[in-house]
Structure 1
Amino acid sequence: MHASPSKAELRALALAKRDALSDEQRAAAAEALARRGTPFEITPGMIVSGYAPIRSELDPKPLMLKLAAKGARLALPCVNARGQSLTFRAWAPHDRLMLGLLGIPEPSTAAAEVHPDVMLVPLAAFDKLGHRIGYGAGYYDYSFAHLRKTKHVIGIGVAFAVQETKAIPALSHDVALDYVLTERKTFDFRSA
């Protein structure tokens, strides 16, 4: 009887697959995702937070631009100390970004703080139940828990199809996603 793989092993496997994709495959996936859009209506004024892609993450910018054209207000996360929720700040495509705490581009501290209605979330791996493996620091888990105390926030994982994993051991503090969007498919976990 084999022990099921740990989160760390699943993360490493999925990231290796993600890293192996070519620049052309990445660009095509980002465009395919944008073309399909979100599986629900974006209403004018809805705040959608994305992320500035690092390493080999799928770039959500084409999708974010499409949502902005439908009237969404865009935001990006700013990292605070470990164990704290992310701060979300308003962002427009022409705004300059600065390097934050972890070397990730983020809006200036002068940008207005906002509370997203929709969060596009990068991830290492996901399964058919909507569980995600992040990078281990728990920033998005804290952020969902914090924001969902005051409002409904739709969580959308953004990933390449190769990052789908059979089953992820979910812990009680792990926040399940409402949807995962890949270049091939929209996964809807709301009824799961």
Structure 2
Amino acid sequence: MRAISPKAELRSAALTRRDALSEEERTAAAAKIAKRGLPFEIAPGTVVSGYSPIRSEIDPMPLMLALAAQGAQLALPAVTARGHSLLFRTWAKGDRLTLGALGIPEPSPAAAELVPDIMLVPLAAFDRVGHRIGYGAGYFDFTFTHLRKAKHVIGIGLAFAVQEIKAVPALSHDVALDYVLTERKTFDFRE
């Protein structure tokens, strides 16, 4: 029998807490984050990538639409292959999405590719130094590493407060976030 890694145990416990939230709590949390917005101003044309929420992830759409109203250009990720950077394709409210390689809704392959200035990312758990636990495939870590070779892309985790843990056992390839936004607080890790 294989031992479960500490990270897998932390992921499972955080996801259990996230899954236990009611639909009303989820909707209210997404609305609170959208109302508070980002902890900095964005310039018109700033490319903000979000994600299509799956399972019990916090819905980034209210925040994304608020940012679009401030002049942001929106994008959603598309999975190409494991071990490769995500691609980002333009998206606007009302655009049809197609199921991607992992069964996650993403923009049509015909949509224009963009390079994000800000990436809103889902997570299973986070700590107070900006480390996150995702689902284990490493797509966002790989993408941050790849994109940050050309420019600094601001990484913002979106989470429910119940997903905070004491410490993420971060590895050398894990990329820390710049911020995490929850319904209760904005965490700034840029120091």
TM-score (norm 2): 0.97
The Cα RMSD (Å) is: 0.7
Whole-Å separation in 2 of the counterparts to 1:132 and 1:80: 22
- The alignment status of 1:141 with 2:141, answered yes or no, reads yes
2:120 paired residue number: 120
Whole-Å separation in 2 of the counterparts to 1:41 and 1:166: 30
Deviations 1:116-174 (A, max 9, x none): 00000000000001000000000001100110011110000000000000011110100
Q: CA deviation at 1:33?
A: 0.4
1:34 paired residue number: 34
Classify the secondary structure of the residue corresponding to 1:27. Answer: helix
Q: CA deviation at 1:42?
A: 1.2
1:172 paired residue number: 172
Whole-Å separation in 1 of the counterparts to 2:82 and 2:150: 22
1:161 paired residue number: 161
Task: Kindly provide the amino acid, as one letter, of the partner of residue 58 in structure 1.
Answer: I
Whole-Å separation in 2 of the counterparts to 1:71 and 1:168: 35
Classify the secondary structure of the residue corresponding to 2:143. Answer: helix
Q: CA deviation at 1:27?
A: 0.3
Classify the secondary structure of the residue corresponding to 1:14. Answer: helix
Task: Kindly provide the amino acid, as one letter, of the partner of residue 115 in structure 1.
Answer: V
Whole-Å separation in 1 of the counterparts to 2:160 and 2:142: 24
Classify the secondary structure of the residue corresponding to 1:120. Answer: strand
Whole-Å separation in 2 of the counterparts to 1:42 and 1:94: 23
1:98 paired residue number: 98
How many pairs are equivalent?
Answer: 187
Instruction: Give percent identity, aligned residues only.
Output: 75
Q: CA deviation at 1:94?
A: 1.1
Runs of 4+ in 1 over 4 A off after TM superposition: none
Q: Please, which runs of 5 or more residues in structure 1 have no aligned partner?
A: none
2:187 paired residue number: 187
Whole-Å separation in 1 of the counterparts to 2:151 and 2:90: 18
Report matched runs for 1:10-159 at 5 Å: 10-159=10-159
Q: Please, which runs of 5 or more residues in structure 2 have no aligned partner?
A: none
Whole-Å separation in 2 of the counterparts to 1:42 and 1:181: 16
Task: Kindly provide the amino acid, as one letter, of the partner of residue 111 in structure 1.
Answer: A
